[in-house]
Amino acid sequence: MGWTVQGAIGSDYKIDASYLSPNLQFAYKLEELTSFYEMQILLSEPLYNLMSLKARNTLRKIDVIALNMYNNQAQNANNEPIGIYTFDLSFNTKDAPTISEDHQIGDLIKLAEYETINIESFKNKGVDYMFTLDSDIVGLQHHIHEFNPIFRQAFKSYVQGEWAQACENIDRCLELWENDGPTKSLQLYMSQF
């Protein structure tokens, strides 16, 4: 999220668009960090702050980072730490809903308990209803309801420098979800110090 300058580069035979911005460099760095945190989606705090409350509730703050790539024209010229968030994805297909033959891509697949609700009245009020009614979106995070409060406590202790307490909660997190990249990255960072 931020500004960029677009320019054309090339020759008489081929022209490509080029984009320059410290915000764009931050986006590239954030994309690189997906492999470090072993997550497919990372978002910056400025983008998080633009989202609706329902959308924010589906995200998990996983770290606070400071990058040295900004200059005085960037949104973070003081090199202040920026929170990064992820949207946890479940790859458990056994709980996937059955899809009817006439389903169109982009159509809402309602959870069984909301089958009788008419969604037409919700559509003109934004997409918040999808975070409650859509079985795909809700199903993506089905596995983390027990995990999230423990991770939040571990992260809070980590940020406050109470690393002994953070380590206890991290161990509990890894018992529930042994392959969680953000939990493993916090554990790795604290083990180095």
Give the model confidence (pLDDT) of 42-94 as tens digits: 999 999 999 988 889 889 999 999 876 544 444 445 578 999 999 987 655 55
Give the model confidence (pLDDT) of 47-61 as tens digits: 999 998 888 988 999
Q: What is the mean pLDDT of the chain?
A: 82
Pairing status of strand 59-65 against strand 42-44: unpaired
pLDDT at 175: 93
pTM, two decimal places: 0.76
- What is the share, in percent, of the chain residues with pLDDT greater than 70? 76
**Does residue 138 register a pLDDT over 80?**
no
**Does residue 35 register a pLDDT over 50?**
yes
Pairing status of strand 5-10 against strand 42-44: unpaired
Tokens of 38: 């072993």
User: What does the alpha-carbon distance between residue 60 and residue 27 come to, in Å, rounded to a whole number?
Assistant: 18
Residue 35 DSSP label: H
Q: Are 174 and 180 in contact (CB under 8 A)?
A: yes
Tokens of 8: 């054309």
